Amino acid sequence: MSIIVQKYGGTSVADVERIKNVAGRLCRTHEQGHRVLAVVSAMGDSTDRLLKMAHEISAEPPERELDMLFSTGERISVALLAMAIHELGHEAISLSGAQAGIHTTTTHTKARITDIDTRRLSEALDGGKIVLVAGFQGISPDEDITTLGRGGSDTTAVALAGALGAESCEIYTDVEGVYSADPNLVKEARKLNAVSYEEMLEMAATGAEVLMLRSVEYAQKYGIPLRVRSSFSDDPGTLVKEEDEQMEKAVVSAITHTEDESKLTLLRVPDKPGIAATVFGALSEAEVNVDMIIQNVSEQGTTDISFTVIQDELPAAQQALDRICDELGTAYIIGEQMGKVSIVGAGMKSYPGVAAKMFRTLADNDINIEMISTSSIKVSCVIERAQVEQAVKALHAAFGLGDD
């Protein structure tokens, strides 16, 4: 009998009525003769609320305790869901990440799954139970509770689907699938029927929030097709899978964006070997994730280096730079209110002029490009945050993404 893994996001279980709706869906899948495992997120925005409470107590809560706190959110969801399934006359069992055999590294709040012991899951599935696993958590070698980072329930679902050899992995959310742009921003945005892992990776990395980046990496690595769909409708959603001949290789499939970038520019640093290593070494020691980096041409032995970080990490980046600026004899300036727009498409590889069209579109809209980075299937531009919305709309129209 085939195993189906379904993941339900926070909005799908935001209140008791919605939990009953999910219970109904799981029971129907079970009645169709499948073995069913569901991974569930915390109800609504409860992870945000837990984090807020922690910060009302401490500016820097111990990360071990944050994980202990966070993990409760998804445990509430699975327990209530199990009760709802029992009410419908089916058998279900809820399990924490640790009980589900999910072993992780010790890095609290961003642990990685190292191994899954599927014994208990298989036993329960074989016994005809609907198995409910609390998302985004596991247990470390020290037997402490860990979590996998925000949005991590997607990764739990994909990892379990891989470990159990599931026939399919469905990610249920509050939108109909993966869109050509954020539908909250662009009303013409279209649902995409299929996207390749490669495209989805770029989209997740450049701001599409529908899937956690790591879950897509996992799905690609283990060849697990993902279906992203809504828990409120029967639309088949978007299939994320290996690129194949039948897939329409759109030159541009989607426009993505972020609105939480900050840009730092180091002025007139000495142009000699080892400077970039010193700067980015200091940032990496401070665990700051650097996104885009640009070094200008050298003039009179000095050069400017700009890079972007997410705004939350700006204070840590500043601290790191403050430590090394004296030593390097430089200063830095900050552009706090930045954003990024990207175009992503597998067909871009074999199509010239795509970047030029993007730049022309931004220029026609009086939008200044501050930084550019590219991959074989993506072009990203850092721009003023206030212009992101306009840029996304203009690019979506320019590349004809709203048209049928």
Nearer to ligand ASP, 211 or 371 (CB): 211
Q: Determine, following the binding rule CB under 6 A, whether residue 159 of this chain makes contact with ligand ASP.
A: no
Neighbours of 356 (CB within 10 A): 10
Of the two residues 151 and 339, which places its CB atom closer to Mg ion in the complex?
Answer: 151
Q: Does 345 bind ligand ASP (CB under 6 A)?
A: no
Whole-angstrom Cα distance, residue 253 to residue 194?
A: 10
Decide whether 9 or 339 has the Cβ nearer to ligand ASP. 9
| Candidates 3-11, 200-208, 222-230, 371-379; binding stretch for Mg ion (CB under 5 A) | 3-11
Instruction: Report if residue 343 touches ligand ASP, rule: CB under 6 A.
Output: no
Query: Which pair of structure tokens corresponds to residue 135?
Result: 């998302």
* CA-based nearest residue to 338, from 377, 363, 365, 306: 306
Residue 150 interacts with ligand ASP (CB under 6 A): yes or no: yes
State both tokens at 233: 């409708």
Does 151 interact with Mg ion (rule: CB under 5 A)? yes
152 is a contact residue toward ligand ASP (CB under 6 A): yes
Residues 169-188 that bind Mg ion (CB under 5 A): none
Among 97, 101, 151, 177, binds ligand ASP (CB under 6 A): 151
| Beta carbon of residue 370, minimum distance to Mg ion (angstroms, whole number) | 29
Q: How many residues make contact with ligand ASP (CB under 6 A)? A: 12
Closest distance between ligand ASP and the C-beta of residue 362, in Å? 32
DSSP 199-262: HHHHHHHTT--SS-HHHHHHHHHHT--EEEEETTS----EEEE---TTS---S--EEEEEEEEE
| Residue ranges in 318-357 that form contacts with Mg ion under rule CB under 5 A | none
Q: Which partner in ligand ASP, Mg ion, none is near 177 (CB below 5 to 8 A by kind)?
A: none
Query: With CB cut-offs between 5 and 8 Å by kind, which of ligand ASP, Mg ion, none does residue 47 bind?
Result: ligand ASP
333 beta partners: 265
| Contact partners, residue 358, CB within 8 Å, separation at least 6 | 343, 379, 381, 395, 398
Q: Which of residues 109-148 bind ligand ASP (CB under 6 A)?
A: 135-136
Find the farthest-apart pair of alpha carbons in the chain and give their distance in angstroms, rounded: 78
CA distances from 169 to 8, 85, 106, 164, 240 (A): 11, 20, 27, 11, 10
Dihedral over Cα of 221, 202, 38, 97: its sign:
positive
Q: Which residue is nearest to Mg ion (CB)?
A: 151
Please report, as residue ranges, which positions from 18 to 77 form the binding site for ligand ASP (by CB under 6 A): 41-42, 47, 73
Calculate the alpha carbon distances from 188 to 231, 254, 332 in Å: 22, 12, 41
Comparison of 46 and 206: residue with beta carbon closer to ligand ASP: 46
Residue placing its CB nearer to ligand ASP in the complex, 13 or 314: 13
Give the C-alpha separation, 48 to 59, whole Å.
15
> What number of H helices and E strands is found in the chain?
11, 18
Q: Residue 135 binds which one of Mg ion, ligand ASP, none, with CB within 5 to 8 A depending on kind?
A: ligand ASP
How many residues bind Mg ion, per CB under 5 A? Answer: 2
- Look up residue 143 and give its DSSP letter: S
- Which span sits near Mg ion by CB under 5 A: 4-12, 95-103, 285-293, 310-318? 4-12
List, in sequence order, every residue forming a beta bridge with 388; answer none if it has no partner.
none
CB closer to Mg ion, 47 vs 262 = 47
Query: Which residue number, 135 or 345, has a Cβ lying nearer to ligand ASP?
Result: 135
Return d(Cα 99, Cα 94) in angstroms, integer.
9
Which is nearer to ligand ASP, 150 or 249 (by Cβ)? Answer: 150
Dihedral sign (CA 113, 114, 117, 118)? positive
If contact means CB under 5 to 8 A according to the sort of partner, which of Mg ion, ligand ASP, none does residue 361 touch?
Answer: none
CB of 90 to ligand ASP, least distance (A): 24
Q: Least CB distance from residue 49 to ligand ASP, whole Å?
A: 10
Is 85 in contact with 23 (CB distance < 8 Å)? yes
Nearer to ligand ASP, 91 or 209 (CB): 209
CA distances from 350 to 250, 297, 347, 377 (A): 11, 30, 6, 10
The residues that bridge with 113 in the sheet, in sequence order, are 104
41 SS3 class? coil
Interface positions with ligand ASP (CB under 6 A): 9-10, 41-42, 47, 73, 135-136, 150-153
Contacting residues toward Mg ion, per CB under 5 A: 9, 151
